[in-house]
């Protein structure tokens, strides 16, 4: 007999744009392989997600309901105003944005009962009270540890921004300690995140469910000119850690790279172009070999076109899907240790680490001039992806959890 699952998410699982959607979609496909899923999506788009069929050709979900959110401005000024208000009230970002929807959620559930209730993102964790009576088992999927995310953002910020992140970190830590132990199971993205979460909420039942990428075939390396290598950094550039990473990359790393590889090109791939352009010279960076793509429907294509992928993050939490995508595409990666936090590292070498601008420049120059090193890193990264970070590999970690395990194996899901 098929189980029944209630699946609550504050972002659409499709299209597969960004790490959040990728993780949400992977869990949705897992549960849909053995259960009837009722999907509740909170969305400012107000429209259902366009979902692909299940692996066997059937409908991915039994039902889909959308709870609309009012659209709000994404300008920098509007963001500062909202975060200032949040700092004054002590309610952290996105928890306030997604609050007050309990009656709508309870109305959709009605008298239905579920074997499992899944809540995506800690931002929606307070809705445990609205789903608990209808669900035999409750699962909270922690994409990040929000208190750690904001504490690290405070470390790289100044003035009022620093004070705001510090206040948000404290507010999130209090909520994490209160809510995580009340869920039947909490999913963390890595062993390091699991250990940190246990320190925050010792009574929690925690398991590791890694971020992952649906199976793709390895991409052929581009024909590379050592004098004009293409370096790619991809991400959501409306996200504070990525904005800081662009600032670090453009202001400090890139001048050092151009000293060593004068013809090097940098492509910034992802939405939030308006935020990125504030960090570039007046000509948009063209004279320095910098270009921005804006939103692209297929970030993997941009990553596969790169000679080198970089992840110069100095803040954040969880694990970086941008690195998993580069590994899946067999591309060499240069990253800060924080950017690769929680990921499986191979003794043979599947990544190069750099912390300072000079270290980044030296690593990029070495890779640009050595096709053998690019190929070796790309091959080891691809092996890491195949063994640890496909959706199938991630699903196997849940098969060992009796509360949520599927009753039968499913075939590979490919996009």
Cα–Cα distance for residue pair 230/214, rounded to 1 Å: 25
Domain ranges of the chain: 3-212+391-399, 230-388
Cα–Cα distance for residue pair 314/337, rounded to 1 Å: 9
Beta bridge mates, 8: 40, 119
Pseudo-torsion of CA 325, 331, 336, 339, nearest 10°?
10
Cα–Cα distance for residue pair 405/389, rounded to 1 Å: 18
313, two tokens: 């993050």
pLDDT for residue 409:
44
pLDDT for residue 407:
56
pLDDT for residue 46:
75
Pseudo-torsion of CA 159, 162, 165, 166, nearest 10°?
-110
CATH class of the domain defined by 230-388: alpha beta
Distances (CA, A) of 87 to 23, 62, 103, 158: 29, 40, 26, 15
193, two tokens: 């995140």
Q: Cβ distance 15 to 51 under 8 Å? A: no
Q: Cβ distance 101 to 131 under 8 Å? A: no
CA 410, 211, 343: angle at the middle one, nearest 5? 125
Give every CB contact of residue 65 below 8 A, 6+ residues apart in sequence.
38, 39, 40, 41, 108
Query: Could you count the other beta carbons within 10 Å of the beta carbon of residue 130?
Result: 21
Q: What is the pTM of this model?
A: 0.91
HEC string for the chain? CCEEEEEEECCCCCCCCCHHHHHHHHHHHHHHCCEEEEEEEEECCCCCCCCCCCCCCCCCCCEEEEEECCCCCCCHHHHHHHHHHHHHHCCCCCCCCCCCCHHHHHHHHCCCCEEEEEEECHHHHHHHHHHHHHEEEEEEECCCCHHHHHHHHHHCCCHHHHHHHHHHHHHHHHHHHHHHHHCCEEEECCHHHHHHHHHHCCCCCEEECCCCECECCCCCCCCCCCCCCEEEEECCCCCHHHHHHHHHHHHHHHHHHHHHCCCCEEEEECCCHHHHHCCCCCCCCHHHCEEEEECCCCHHHHHHCCCEEEECCCCCCCCCHHHHHHHHCCCCEEECCCCCCCCCCCCCCCCEECCCHHHHHHHHHHHHHCHHHHHHHHHHHHHHHHHHCEHHHHHHHHHCCCCCCCCCCCCCCEC
pLDDT for residue 387:
95
Cα–Cα distance for residue pair 213/390, rounded to 1 Å: 5
* Domain 3-212+391-399 and domain 230-388 have a common topology: yes
Quick one: 3-212+391-399 is in which CATH superfamily?
Glycogen Phosphorylase B; (3.40.50.2000)
Q: What is the pLDDT along the chain (415 residues), one digit of tens a residue?
A: 789 999 999 999 998 888 899 999 999 999 999 999 999 999 887 788 899 987 778 899 999 999 998 877 767 667 777 777 777 777 888 898 999 999 999 999 999 999 999 999 999 999 999 999 999 999 999 999 999 999 999 999 999 889 999 999 999 999 999 999 999 999 999 999 999 999 999 999 999 999 999 998 887 777 778 889 999 999 999 888 999 999 999 999 999 999 999 999 999 999 888 888 888 887 777 888 999 988 888 888 899 999 999 999 999 988 999 999 999 999 999 999 999 999 998 877 889 999 999 999 999 999 999 999 999 999 999 999 999 999 999 999 999 888 898 854 444 444 4
pLDDT for residue 48:
87
């Amino acid at each position: 007999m098929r189980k029944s699952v209630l699946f609550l998410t504050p972002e659409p699982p499709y299209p597969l744009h960004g790490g959040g959607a990728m993780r949400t979609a992977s869990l949705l496909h897992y549960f849909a392989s053995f259960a009837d899923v009722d999907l509740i999506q909170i969305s400012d788009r107000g429209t259902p997600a366009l979902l692909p069929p299940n692996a066997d050709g059937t409908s991915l979900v039994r039902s889909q309901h959308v709870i609309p959110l009012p659209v709000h401005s994404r300008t920098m000024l509007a963001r500062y105003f909202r975060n200032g208000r949040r700092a004054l009230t002590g309610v952290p970002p996105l928890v306030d944005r997604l609050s007050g929807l309990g009656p709508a959620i309870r109305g959709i559930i009605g008298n239905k009962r579920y074997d499992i209730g899944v809540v995506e993102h800690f931002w929606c964790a307070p809705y445990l009270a609205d789903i608990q009576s209808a669900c035999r088992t409750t699962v909270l999927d922690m994409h990040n540890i929000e208190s750690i995310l904001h504490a690290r953002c405070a470390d790289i910020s100044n003035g009022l921004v620093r004070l705001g992140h510090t206040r948000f970190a404290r507010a999130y830590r209090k909520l994490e300690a209160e809510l995580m132990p009340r869920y039947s199971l909490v999913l963390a993205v890595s062993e390091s995140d699991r250990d940190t979460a246990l320190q925050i909420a010792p009574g929690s039942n925690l398991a590791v469910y890694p971020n992952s990428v649906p199976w793709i075939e390895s991409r052929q390396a581009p024909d590379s000119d050592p004098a004009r290598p293409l370096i790619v950094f991809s991400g959501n550039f409306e996200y504070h850690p990525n904005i800081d990473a662009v600032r670090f990359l453009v202001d400090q790393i890139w001048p050092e790279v151009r000293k060593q590889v004068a013809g090097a090109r940098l492509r910034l791939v992802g939405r939030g172009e308006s935020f990125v352009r504030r960090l570039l010279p007046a000509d948009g960076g063209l004279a320095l070999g910098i270009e921005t793509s804006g939103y692209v429907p297929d970030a993997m294509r941009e990553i596969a076109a790169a000679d080198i992928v970089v992840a110069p993050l100095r803040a954040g939490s969880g694990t970086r899907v941008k690195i998993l995508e580069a590994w899946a595409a067999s591309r060499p990666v240069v990253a800060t240790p924080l950017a690769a936090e929680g990921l499986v590292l191979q003794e043979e070498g599947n990544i190069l680490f750099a912390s300072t601008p000079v270290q980044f420049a030296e690593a990029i120059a070495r890779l640009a001039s050595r096709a053998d090193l690019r190929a070796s890193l790309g091959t080891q990264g691809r092996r890491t992806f195949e063994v640890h970070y496909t959706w199938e590999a991630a699903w196997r970690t849940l098969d060992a959890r009796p509360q949520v395990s599927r009753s039968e194996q499913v075939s590979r899901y490919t996009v």
